[in-house]
Amino acid sequence: MPRPGLLIEELPIWAHLNGVKFTGVKVANTEGRGYGVISENTLTTDEDTVTLGTPTFIAVPHNLVLNAAAVDEYAKEDKNFKQLLEAAEHRSSRADILLFLLVQTALASRVNHPSHSSIGVSNPWTEYLQLLPGTLFVPTLWHEDERLLLRGTSLEAAVSAKVSALVAEFDAIQQISSDIPCWNEVLWESGSVSLRDWILLDALYRSRCLELPRSGESMVPCIDMVNHSASPTAYYDENSKDEVVLLPRPGAGLLAGDEITISYGDTKSGAEMLFSYGFIDPTSAAESLTLVLEPFPDDPLARAKLVAFGGAPKLHVARDGSSVVWKSPFAYLMCINEEDGLDFRVLQDTEGGQQLRVFWQDDDVTDRADGFEALIQSHPLSALFQLRVVTIIQERLEVQLGRAQSHQVAKQDPGLGDVRDECLKAAELLRQVEMGVLESGIESLEEERSSLLADKNVVAYLGLMEPAASDLVEEEASNEVEDFS
Ligand SMILES: C[S@@+](CC[C@H](N)C(=O)[O-])C[C@H]1O[C@@H](n2cnc3c(N)ncnc32)[C@H](O)[C@@H]1O
């Protein structure tokens, strides 16, 4: 069902009724960035103190802060919601908050359909949600044609996986709440919420969540209207009255009519910014990307390696000044085998259960399965193992670069489909940033490979082996990347 929606002009009334104080600032439409917070005064500050103007732009009382604790408080007032929250098993703060917001969405739609049941207690968020934008450019909300624009970028797999996860979450919520008659009626029989609402709420949560010093991960009305800049003029904090406040940064200068901004973080990559906020600021985004690393398809230990490693096998590459750094703990486990001294054993534990244990050179290293970079250091053939790792990393970057290049698109391309300009521009900016990192990474790995191939232990190893005795040596010597498994 379409969200009811309130005009941003109604925000001052909502703020007044709910005790939010605005001083010398207002929320208004900005050019290309949705709503933003605008200064109504000229303000000069020096590096240490605010010398003129108001010290607090916005003050939000603690009772409006939405986090897991606030959802629990709300559940104390509404026994039906408590039942729903418990049925959903409090899987995470995010899950609790999204469930609360889903219910508020349904309650808001009831305003337009007063015949619906009186289940659910409205609260300030029921109305505030209606003031939030209904269009966001985070890729989980892109149409299918627009998501194709991400082919060859690091977001291609991440966005597909996130959309699948959101569909599964929504199905689970639907199943749980359908078993509770009152919620079945409010949420589903009335048709008041849909999968689109769930995806939108997830996007609103991700793009508006703040990390507060005391209250932790929270959504804060009104302060979530502040846009990002690489040269921010404000920051948020919690004061001694437990309010969340927006304050000018020392050294910030503002003219009346200037937009007030904060920093959403300067270590987030372009992909992370696009994924979480629906835009990339090339002046502040970190030049880095994270890729998924697949184990060798013909590795008989692949499954055991994945289980023992525990986390998702990833590769992180980043430009650091003039050099490129990479990190991939799984790549080290991926590149060593039984003949090198790796072993997996299934052992009986004291409770009669079975445990997969990892051994390296006969030492039990199960707890260090993500630390093979350090574990191989003392091995005489560590340079050879490093060469294998560098080779597969370089190959992964080459494959990614090839895909990124082959999927480049331009506005005038026939067959582009029905895509919005914002999505096309964001996807192509991401592609350009990532291609730059990949090209530099491949170059720097080539240098690493050359120096490893010149390592005396590698040379001795390759020289000692009879060509017929080992396929591996032949392949290593001929630098055939794909055969290093
Ligand atoms: C916390 S909200 C800020 C308020 C938001 N503009 C609105 O209309 O409600 C974060 C969202 O604002 C937009 N945004 C913030 N900073 C931006 C920037 N520098 N460039 C483009 N969009 C920006 C993005 O849509 C982002 O997801």
> Which residue segments constitute the domains of the chain, with CATH numbers given?
8-262 (3.90.1410.10), 288-483 (3.90.1420)
From the CA of 245, how far away is ligand 1's center (Å)?
Answer: 19
User: HSE on the CB side for 64, CA within 13 Å?
Assistant: 26
Q: Please identify, by atom number, the ligand 1 atom nearest to the C-alpha of residue 137.
A: 25
* Ligand 1 nearest atom to the CA of residue 226, by list position: 3
Q: What tens digit of pLDDT does each residue of 58-103 get?
A: 999 999 999 999 999 999 999 999 999 999 998 999 999 999 999 9
Average pLDDT, the chain: 91
pTM, 2 dp: 0.90
Residue 480: the pLDDT is 35
Question: 213 CA distance to ligand 1 centroid (A)?
Answer: 22
More confident residue, 412 or 464: 412
User: Whose Cα sits closest to atom 10 in ligand 1?
Assistant: 207
Q: Residues 215-231: what's their mean pLDDT?
A: 97
Tokens at residue 41, please? Answer: 């005064």
Q: Could you tell me the end-to-end alpha-carbon distance of the chain, in angstroms, rounded to an integer?
A: 52
Report whether pLDDT(54) > 80: no
Report residue 169: phi and psi, to 5°: -60, -45
Answer whether residue 53 shows pLDDT above 60. no
Res 4: pLDDT = 61
- The pLDDT value recorded for residue 134 is 85
Q: What is the pLDDT of residues 247-257, one digit of tens each?
A: 999 888 899 99
pLDDT band at 468 (very low <50, low <70, confident <90, very high): very low
pLDDT higher for 192 or 84?
84
Residue 474 clears pLDDT 60, i.e. is over it? no
pLDDT of 251: 87
Among the residue ranges 92-96, 211-215, 467-471, the one predicted with the least confidence is 467-471
Give, using CA atoms, the residue closest to atom 20 of ligand 1. 33
- This complex has an ipTM of 1.00
Rounded to an integer, the average pLDDT of 48-58 is 65
**Which residue would you say has higher pLDDT here, 74 or 468?**
74
- Going 332 to 335 to 340 to 344, the CA torsion angle's sign is positive
Distance in angstroms (rounded) separating the CA atoms of residues 306 and 317 = 21
pLDDT value, residue 413: 85
Q: Per-residue confidence at 322, pLDDT binned at 50, 70, 90? A: confident
CA 111 / ligand 1 centre spacing (Å): 28
Percent of the chain, pLDDT > 70?
92
User: What does the angle CA 270 – CA 272 – CA 278 come to, to the nearest 5 degrees?
Assistant: 80
How many angstroms is it from 266 CA to the middle of ligand 1? 15
SS3 143: coil
Torsion of CA 99, 105, 108, 114, to 10 degrees: -90
Q: Give the residue-averaged pLDDT of 118-131.
A: 91
Closest CA to 400 of 334, 316, 330: 316
Query: Residue 476: what pLDDT?
Result: 43
Residues paired with 227 in a beta bridge: 261
> Ligand 1 pocket check: which of 130, 223, 277, 284 to mutate, most ligand atoms within 8 Å of Cβ?
277
Mean pLDDT of the region 345-370: 93
- In this structure, the residues whose C-beta lies within 6 A of any atom of ligand 1 are 33-36, 133, 136, 207-208, 224-225, 227-229, 277-279, 281
pLDDT at site 306: 97
Question: Per-residue pLDDT for 160 more than 70?
Answer: yes
Which stretch of DSSP H or E encloses residue 15?
Answer: helix 11-17
Angle at Cα 357 formed by Cα 352 and Cα 361, nearest 5°? 140
User: Mind listing the pLDDT tens digit for each residue in 263-303?
Assistant: 999 899 999 999 999 999 999 999 999 999 999 999 999 99
Predicted local confidence at residue 482, as pLDDT:
32
- Residue 197 makes CB contacts below 8 A (sequence gap 6+) with 1, 3, 102, 105
- pLDDT (0 to 100) of residue 485: 25
Share of the chain above pLDDT 90, in %: 81
449 within 8 A of 398, measured Cβ to Cβ = no
Give me the mean pLDDT over the 157-173 stretch: 97
* pLDDT at residue 304 greater than cutoff 60: yes
